[in-house]
Amino acid sequence: MPSTLFAPDSAFPDLSGPGTADEKLAAVQDYLYLLLETLRWTLRNLSPANFNEREMADWFDKLEAKVVVSDTVITNELYADFGAIADLTVDELRTDYLRAARFLAGNTAPLDWLYIHDEQIDFLTGTVKRDGDQAPCTEQLRRGDRCFWWTDAAQTRMTSLEETAWPVTVYQYEELLKGSVRFQTVEGVKIPTLILGAGTGDQSDPDLGRGFLRKNTGSLDLWLHGARDNGVFIGQYTDLAGLRKTTEIDFSGWDNGAFTETVDGGVTGSFSVTFDALDRPVKITDAAGHETEVIWE
């Protein structure tokens, strides 16, 4: 009999390679025999009238997974590293499955993961919480109202289907949202927006200090959200918002062929001036060596 239910897929004959007609016919015959044996095994062991729990358990051991289906809804979550499906859902997805492995290894370094939920993808970094003595804080691994338990003392597999003597212990993490991809409504249209950075932590405006990249219907916008949004807005025309403005021009050194310009933020630039025979400025050169010609006629 076949070793797994997936044997017919993995053993599908490849008739495009080298070989005689007799050899290819023999391969097809072998495959048909495999299909027949798979069907016999399925009907013998998995039919409602003759359900063979031992055979099903052996098959699950080969698959290294345990799935519970209730009312056609799969309610368990996948932990591939430990070989057991404990909770698989379609409404959210987390990639912080390394919590258990991190605890077993004593690894308290920050942990990065993705959290997909409610039409958005979050990029998070978790830092281990510590108590007053700076010892790492721990808790039992849980998802919603489901707790996780090791199936044996060796801590090789976990389950949320039954309580055992070995709870799955993990570190507690302070979560910091460092970025996300989410839908934002612009003029009645939902548009995916890339949001970067953790922000300033202002509770009244959580997006303050974060960067945004969004392709609107007629433009591509990149900006930093603040009291005044600064950025590049590319459409029929390209607009730059938040450029520094001149606050002071100092011509006190004009006679010596120089002047300075001060812009927002107190940044000062120096310029040299070249004069013609009539003492008219004909060229201005900035500190980087860029020259600007001045035409009088």
Give the number of other Cβ atoms within 10 Å of residue 85's Cβ.
21
Show the CA angle centred on residue 132, arms to residues 128 and 136, nearest 5°: 25
Is residue 149 within 8 Å of residue 163, measured between CB atoms?
yes
Give the amino acid at 160. S
Tens-digit pLDDT profile for residues 55-102:
566 655 555 444 444 333 344 445 545 555 555 555 778 888 889 999
pTM: 0.59
225 vs 207: CA distance, rounded Å? 7
Is residue 40 within 8 Å of residue 8, measured between CB atoms?
no
60 vs 68: CA distance, rounded Å? 11
Tens-digit pLDDT profile for residues 97-119:
889 999 999 999 999 999 999 88
Q: Which residues of the chain have pLDDT under 50?
A: 1, 64-77, 80
* DSSP state string for 251-295: -TTGGGTEEEEEETTTEEEEEEEEE-TTS-EEEEEETT--EEE--
Burial 142-158 (b: 16+ CB within 10 A, else e): eeeeeebbbbeeebebb
Per-residue CA distances from 167 to 135, 149, 159, 160 (Å): 20, 4, 10, 10
128 vs 197: CA distance, rounded Å? 20
Phi then psi dihedrals of residue 170, to 5 deg: -135, 165
pLDDT at 159: 87
Task: Give the β-pairing of 142-143 and 138-140.
Answer: unpaired
pLDDT at 74: 40
pLDDT at 57: 62
Is residue 80 within 8 Å of residue 97, measured between CB atoms?
yes
